[in-house]
Amino acid sequence: MVDCLSRIREILKYRELLRNLVIRDIKVRYKRSLLGFFWVMLNPLLMMLILNLVFSELFRVSTKDYTAYLLSGIILWNFFSQGTSTSVYSLIRNSNLIKKIYLPRAIFPFSVVISALINFIFSLLPLLIIFFVNGTQLSYNLFLLPLAILLVLIFSFGISLIVSTLTVFFHDTIYIYEVLLLAWMYMTPIFYPESIVPERFSFIFHMNPLYYFLSIFRGALYLETSAFAFKILAGSLFSAASLLTGWLIYRRNRDRMVYYL
């Protein structure tokens, strides 16, 4: 963990490069798009409208402030999935730069996660508008919102280190992670309330880090959440475990990955 923190400080010393990588990621994502960066806010809104129709009207899901529940789940999931799924390619796409000069290679997956964080922050705007339109009351735990975001950021960086490192040696990681991410999404209460899941399957939630992050995020924003302190503790442990595991895999393979790029 000490080595991990020292390497993160090293990444921050390259903040000018980090800034340029983040700007590049955002520009590439919205290149030749008519609405450009506005898709950051429009995308979750459109997804919310579709899922709201399906689950609230067709499946008759009745949850208090369902629109807020749905949109908050979508934008937090997008933060995690966008950051980790894009970081799968981060090392192999920058192979020419890695081979030519010395850089802390972890800066590439880290930059992708930071660009996902920026997208997430902007996507909070439509969520706050929905809160205002629906008259949704903000929680007294709003001061915990930065903590919820930080936990997802750390967890995403750990997963990004794992998948980006594995992709260097096993390109099948790209396709495997796509399938895992899809399954992960359906096992997370993003668009359905956890109350509809039978008790015998509740262990799935308890094993799912995103369940805790979503609970903390929603609890910090507006929702009364049971066992809130425990979920913060569990989310913190999952984030630390993700970062530590990702760093160990990355550190063990960083010196030899140049031969496979």
Q: Nearest Cα to 244, choosing from 148, 116, 154?
A: 154
Residue with tokens 């015998």: 200
Q: pLDDT tens across 62-103, in order?
A: 666 788 888 899 999 999 999 999 999 999 988 888 888 878
Residue-level pLDDT at 23: 84
Contact (Cβ atoms closer than 8 angstroms) between residue 107 and residue 21: yes
Single pTM value for the model:
0.90
Residue-level pLDDT at 137: 87
Out of 138-147, 162-171, 198-207, 229-238, which region has the weakest mean confidence (pLDDT)?
198-207
Residue-level pLDDT at 150: 96
Residue-level pLDDT at 63: 65
pLDDT at 15 over 90: no
